[in-house]
Amino acid sequence: MKTTDRRELPKGKVSLTALGLGCAQMGNLLKLMPFADARDTADAAWDAGIRYFDTAPFYGFTRSERRLGAILDERQRSDFTISTKVGRLMVPDADVGAEAEGYVNPCPFHQVYDYSYDAILRSFDASQQRLGMVRFDILYVHDIGRVTHGEKHEHHWNQLTKGGGFKALSELRQDGRIGGFGLGVNEWEAVSEALDECDLDVSMLAGRYTLLEQESLGLLQKCLDRGARIVVAGAFNSGVLAGTNNFNYGDAPAEIIARVQKLRSVAEEFGVAIQAAALQFGMAHPAVVSCVSGARNARQIRSNVEWFEAEIPTAFWQALRERGLVAEGTPLPGLAA
């Protein structure tokens, strides 16, 4: 598998490179990222053949979109695929602190969740201005779900459904301002419920279909049945599959550490970098069209590409299956489900 391999969405309007660049780090996620590093990272991704870039208004409170737009400004628009997100309106706020929601030195805005018809269109218009683009290939509804919103979930879900959020997205797709839409979430259940409400094209699922987690297998089959697809993000499960102790944006519990160690032991047995296995795992499922991974510098881009294209013996995947380290029915590279 190569970074430059392309997979199309079923309706044929959008194609994505197998490996994409997630641009949350461009918004100073967890630590500062100078603009020069952001540019070098994107240039390294381009040089490696990556042509799919994902951003969001929330990343750095608009900083990621503005930076990515500037970086891509001299590229031909037809040469790359871009996705951004809706669901949060960014409101000017001079009192935003030095760190907020995990972003260092965020731009002077605060977020207001709003998934209604008018808010979707307002968010889309604002992203057009920040990115300097008229059309987006994909628009994701950002962070909606019961875990995310708790007691406010029904209110926000009603905005998206009864309040016209999905209607706005459908209109944007119909008139060609976007190529397709779906959800961009950490909760696979939200995607499943959305499929029953609307004709989704593609959804970004972060951390829920990985070498470590396969509870979403039923959702991926549902996507295939409904003509929808999945972009896998968070393939390292916040870092625990890449050598850190982070899982789901916090410290990894003991049972997760133990499971990772079992996976790592098999990887060492077969001389496989666990990072390579993590990046390649999701691409074996026919519902998955791309794997998006973030990076802070050109070196990390080159590492991701090397892992993504590394040769992994089929015997490694077979061993994971035989030892019960992946869920039954999980498609694996080179093996039937």
In a domain, 64, yes or no: yes
In a domain, 235, yes or no: yes
Q: How confident is the model at residue 7 (pLDDT cuts 50, 70, 90)?
A: very high
pLDDT at 160: 98
Mean predicted confidence (pLDDT) in 35-41: 98
Torsion of CA 181, 237, 63, 159, to 10 degrees: 40
Asked whether the predicted pLDDT for residue 94 surpasses 80, the reply is yes
Residues 247, 237: contact at Cβ < 8 Å?
yes
pLDDT at 13: 83
Encode pLDDT of 251-274 as tens digits. Answer: 899 999 999 999 999 999 999 999
Q: How confident is the model at residue 219 (pLDDT cuts 50, 70, 90)?
A: very high
CA atoms lying within 13 Å on the CB side of residue 169: 30
Asked whether the predicted pLDDT for residue 101 surpasses 70, the reply is yes
Which tokens hold the place of 246? 């982070």
Mean predicted confidence (pLDDT) in 193-200: 97
Residue 217 and residue 278: Cα distance in Å, rounded?
16
pLDDT at 268: 97
Query: Which amino acid, 21?
Result: L
Q: How confident is the model at residue 115 (pLDDT cuts 50, 70, 90)?
A: very high
Residues designated catalytic:
54, 59, 85
Q: What is the CATH number of the domain that holds 199?
A: 3.20.20.100
In a domain, 333, yes or no: no
CA atoms lying within 13 Å on the CB side of residue 316: 23
Encode pLDDT of 287-298 as tens digits. Answer: 999 999 999 999
Q: Which residues, including other chains, have CB under 8 Å from residue 218's CB and lie 6 or more apart?
A: 192
Encode pLDDT of 63-74 as tens digits. Answer: 999 999 999 999
pLDDT at 335: 85
Percent of the chain with pLDDT over 70: 99
Which tokens hold the place of 101? 């929601």
3-state secondary structure labels for all residues of the chain: CCCCCEEECCCCCCEEECEEEECCHHHCECCCCCHHHHHHHHHHHHHCCCCEEECCCCCCCCHHHHHHHHHHCCCCHHHCEEEEEECEEEEECCCCCCEECCEECCCCEEEEECCCHHHHHHHHHHHHHHHCCCCEEEEEEECCCHHHHHHHHHHHHHHHCCCCHHHHHHHHHHCCCEEEEEEEECCHHHHHHHHCCCCCCEEEEECCCCCCCCCCHHHHHHHHHHCCEEEEECCCHHHHHHCCCEECCEECCHHHHHHHHHHHHHHHHCCCCHHHHHHHHHHHCCCEEEEEEECCCHHHHHHHHHHHHCCCCHHHHHHHHHCCCCCCCCCECCECC
Mean predicted confidence (pLDDT) in 235-248: 90
pLDDT at 244: 85
Asked whether the predicted pLDDT for residue 276 surpasses 80, the reply is yes
- The boundaries of the domain holding residue 132 are 6-323
Residue 19 and residue 4: Cα distance in Å, rounded?
7
In a domain, 125, yes or no: yes
Asked whether the predicted pLDDT for residue 336 surpasses 80, the reply is no
Encode burial over 82-103: b for 16+ CB neighbours within 10 A, e otherwise. Answer: bbbbbbbbbeeeeebeeebeeb
Asked whether the predicted pLDDT for residue 243 surpasses 90, the reply is no
Mean predicted confidence (pLDDT) in 311-329: 97
Q: What predicted TM-score, i.e. pTM, was given to this entire model?
A: 0.97
Dihedral pair phi/psi, residue 53, rounded to 5°: -125, 130
Percent of the chain with pLDDT over 90: 94
In a domain, 34, yes or no: yes
Number of domains observed in the structure of the chain: 1
In a domain, 329, yes or no: no
Residue 89 and residue 70: Cα distance in Å, rounded?
21
203 to each of 9, 11, 116, how far by Cα in Å? 11, 14, 19
- Residue at token pair 């951003």: 55
Query: Which amino acid, 318?
Result: Q
Q: How confident is the model at residue 249 (pLDDT cuts 50, 70, 90)?
A: confident
Q: How confident is the model at residue 337 (pLDDT cuts 50, 70, 90)?
A: low
In a domain, 243, yes or no: yes
Average pLDDT score, the chain: 96
In a domain, 336, yes or no: no
pLDDT at 251: 87
Asked whether the predicted pLDDT for residue 245 surpasses 90, the reply is no
Q: Which residues, including other chains, have CB under 8 Å from residue 178's CB and lie 6 or more apart?
A: 124, 135, 136, 137, 138, 139, 169, 172
Mean predicted confidence (pLDDT) in 13-34: 96
